[in-house]
Amino acid sequence: MSPSTSRPGAHGTLITVAPTGAEHSKADVPNLPVTVEDLVRTARDCERVGAAMIHLHVRDRDAKPTLDLGLLRETVGAVRENSNLIVQLSTGGAVTDSEADRLAVLDALPDSASCSMGTVNFGDDVFLNRWEFIVELHKRMRERDIVPEYEIFDLGQLTTLRRLLDEHGLPSGGHVHLDLVLGVPGGMAGDLETVAAALRLVPEGATFSATGVGRSTLPVLLASLSAGGHLRVGMEDTTTYARGEKVKDNAQLVARASSLSRIAQRPPIGPDEARVLLGVAR
Ligand code: KMH
Ligand code: ZN
């Protein structure tokens, strides 16, 4: 795979922040951003220190994960109004969400949405992504001009991505961007060897980011930077900053990713450059 060096932005680093996720409880992680106001503040703070895209899950009044369409629309609007970040909604939701609710997320018309490429054991649960469901997500995103980020939890899911593109064509914007999610208990391991193995299977011309869950955060971040990849960081994936030290907030993780990107001579790109890189029209 050549990390599409001809595309604008390819010499810098796209940093995506995933601030919340669906797995951590507010009781366990009191500084987790869960309200619309929290997410707006997080978006602003993270943009200031180098994020270009935000990957959003929303929570209800009790801070429980929800796919409520009204709340999703409100959140997309509020983050757009208060930041220039590319707004990406999760269609992964929580492991308990139905396919119908996950498809309906697209009606909130984000700039981008995640599209998971297969079923994976997810701790004690199963994150179910049937082939027909993946195809439906891919098609509906194209109909709505939403740019997908293909989420890859295991190596075989890169084969599924190739099949999807071969059988159903390129996504909206014409560019393929994927995110390697390593270190999920049940998914691919969060280490250098696995990042390298995944890179051999990334479609030609695609860009990729990588995120390591939990203690694999730093090894995966450094491996991705060294391979010309982009980065996703945030409290969805890790709530520990260093051994024995909790994450202060999402901006702390973005700031660290920005510093390491600069050291690697691939400084963070801004949201406008990232839009060109990913083919986001809005
Ligand atoms: N919460 C996980 C079950 C995504 O956002 O698209 C799925 C997930 C992936 O987080
Ligand atoms: Zn997510």
Helix (H) or strand (E) holding 161: helix 156-168
Check whether 4 has a pLDDT greater than 80: no
Give the pLDDT of residue 72.
99
**144-165 residue pLDDT tens:** 999 999 999 999 999 999 999 9
Domain, as residue range, for 196: 15-278
Mean predicted confidence (pLDDT) in 71-92: 98
Residue 128 has pLDDT above 80, yes or no: yes
pLDDT at 6: 52
Task: Give the pLDDT confidence score for residue 11 in this predicted structure.
Answer: 87
Tell whether 202 is covered by a domain. yes
- Domain membership flag for residue 89: yes
For residue 23, the CA-to-ligand 2 centroid distance in Å is: 9
CA 125 to ligand 1: nearest atom? 3
Global model pTM greater than 0.95: yes
22 lines ligand 1 (CB under 6 A): yes
What mean pLDDT do residues 99-107 have?
Answer: 98
Q: How far apart are CA 49 and CA 272, in angstroms?
A: 15
Q: Check whether 9 has a pLDDT greater than 70.
A: no
CA of 179 to the centre of ligand 2 (A): 11
Tell me how many domains the chain contains. Answer: 1
- Write the CB contacts of 124 (distance below 8 Å, at least 6 apart in sequence): none
The answer to whether position 142 is within a domain reads: yes
Q: Which atom of ligand 1 is nearest to the CA of 90?
A: 5
Nearest to 57 by CA among 27, 84, 13, 96: 96
Q: Is 153 in the pocket of ligand 1 (CB under 6 A)?
A: no
Q: What is the CATH number of the domain that holds 89?
A: 3.20.20.70
Residue environment code for 200-211, b if the CB has 16+ CB neighbours within 10 A, otherwise e: eebeeebbbbbb
Q: What is the share, in percent, of the chain residues with pLDDT greater than 70?
A: 96
